[in-house]
């Protein structure tokens, strides 16, 4: 199989099921941003962090591929004429969301109570978490807009929302593990 197909040379690409759309289509923007997020999570995973965090991030990366496949499938192509699902993979579901919530709760239990907003930075691994969190929020915004145009699986929206929370708490956890001071945002008074 060749990497280049030349079918996108005129600015279109195929969704799952064969429908061709412009490369700036909102569905493409949505799953493209999820792919960008997945790359940043890979960058976090490549840092000197605890092995169990790397395993958790790998699980999240796999889930993001599933989520991207779901976003790449337009509603009219989700099932075959026989009624069978066209996308024959497990879907992002409530269990994936509960996994994130459980991981957030475990990390949060080890952290000091947050009294201020936290400024990103202090260590490269922490900064990568904050970049991934921002990309995750963008993926969520695009998916919400897509959902307004054509309904998508609501678990996609929940998962992205929870994942951004996970990435924020992970940044705090890594700051603690790496003994990095968190920089609090304290507004200056006029």
The pLDDT assigned to 144 comes to: 98
In a domain, 47, yes or no: yes
Q: Which pTM was predicted?
A: 0.90
For the chain, strand residue ranges (E) read 12-14, 20-22, 117-119, 183-185
In a domain, 133, yes or no: yes
The pLDDT assigned to 14 comes to: 78
Distance CA 124, CA 118 (A): 15
In a domain, 94, yes or no: no
In a domain, 123, yes or no: yes
Strands 12-14 and 20-22: antiparallel
The pLDDT assigned to 86 comes to: 67
The pLDDT assigned to 153 comes to: 93
In a domain, 53, yes or no: yes
In a domain, 80, yes or no: no
The pLDDT assigned to 88 comes to: 74
The pLDDT assigned to 80 comes to: 65
The pLDDT assigned to 75 comes to: 77
The pLDDT assigned to 81 comes to: 63
Distance CA 34, CA 37 (A): 5
The pLDDT assigned to 77 comes to: 65
Q: Which residues of the chain have pLDDT under 70?
A: 77-87
The DSSP secondary-structure symbol of 122 reads S
CA angle, 46 then 36 then 11, to 5°: 145
The pLDDT assigned to 74 comes to: 83
The DSSP secondary-structure symbol of 102 reads H
Residue with tokens 């960058």: 43
Q: How many domains does the chain have?
A: 1
Task: Tell me which residue range forms the domain holding 35.
Answer: 17-74+105-185
CATH number at residue 130: 1.20.1200.10
pLDDT digits (tens, 9 = 90+) for 130-150: 999 999 999 999 999 999 999
Distance CA 92, CA 86 (A): 15
In a domain, 167, yes or no: yes
């Amino acid at each position: 199989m060749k990497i280049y197909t030349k079918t996108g040379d005129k600015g279109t690409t195929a969704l799952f099921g064969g429908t061709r759309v412009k490369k700036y289509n909102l569905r493409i923007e949505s799953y493209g941003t999820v792919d960008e997020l997945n790359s940043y999570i890979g960058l976090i995973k490549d840092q000197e962090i605890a092995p169990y965090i790397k395993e958790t991030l790998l699980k999240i990366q796999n889930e993001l591929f599933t989520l991207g496949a779901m976003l790449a499938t337009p509603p009219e192509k989700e099932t075959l004429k026989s009624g069978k699902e066209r996308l024959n993979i497990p879907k992002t579901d409530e269990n994936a969301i509960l996994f994130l919530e459980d991981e957030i709760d475990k990390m949060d239990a080890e952290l000091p109570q947050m009294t201020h907003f936290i400024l990103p930075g202090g260590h490269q691994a922490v900064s990568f978490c904050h970049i991934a969190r921002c990309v995750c929020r963008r993926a969520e915004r695009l998916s919400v807009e897509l959902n307004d145009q054509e309904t998508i699986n609501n678990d996609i929206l929940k998962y992205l929302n929870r994942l951004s929370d996970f990435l924020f708490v992970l940044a705090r956890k890594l700051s603690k593990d790496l003994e990095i001071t968190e920089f609090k945002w304290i507004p200056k008074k006029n």
